[in-house]
Structure 1
């Protein structure tokens, strides 16, 4: 999984600049984030804004530090998304847990999977729950779209000449020329 830490380009208003074909879906303010690394209990934590596009999830720290300013996660790379809703009316806030985040090789974060926990604002639980639903749906669409693109690239080519042990080719008159291999009338 490709994780980009502190590489998202922000506008002066601290909003991510969209990449090519990137379309905004949703955003939530005042979200608490905790980023865990296996070797260190809490790698980074704080508050900020979370943006969801059709290609990626972006966390922007409210008060950037040297360790954490932004995090950009491609939706197709997320393996595990858990949503936890508060069980009681006045209970803890809703949470979204992204597990098995693998950093990119040159990020300096190591090679072990990490975990990101997002906690919604207490003042606006409903907005965070809706954001979580949007995240799950956008993730499903991104994965389905990437699979479709992979299938298009892996299509076999018919009619291409291939080396065979036999030098004689037999063609039956009633078989169409664009028929797939093994076609029998």
Structure 2
């Protein structure tokens, strides 16, 4: 297939701003708290200092891990739908027919969501999302462009996840009919 039919998944600008405020703003706030704590001008100086010193490395780490999400024109991954379709991210490609399971999983160190894809050969791929694509965007893209071409076992697993998702029920997500 040609790349003209590729579905490019890009970061949502609203989530970029929100993520930037949280990481960059949190890092700046921790640096400010530590600076105010070092001055010892307030009875709360030890709290300021300990909070700033404790949280600064964590938030700075998140800020640097998330930098790729702020690159203008960034594409997190591409979906080439079809019988011979594949998912392309960075320099890797995953054939859609080889997918066993797809899930949105949180990285415990960075608290960023990753798309976890397990293939039929047992290999697990992680596509970093940097929390700049929404869960609805994730579900819509995989439900509409990947699901119709997955193997029957993977379709069964995906259907079970979609039926048991309280989040999708809360946002009243309606799936397309893929029986044809």
Q: Which range, TM-score by smaller chain?
A: 0.3 to 0.5
Greater C-alpha Rg: 1
Q: TM-score, normalised by structure 2?
A: 0.37
Q: TM-score, normalised by structure 1?
A: 0.36
* Structure with the largest fraction of strand: 1
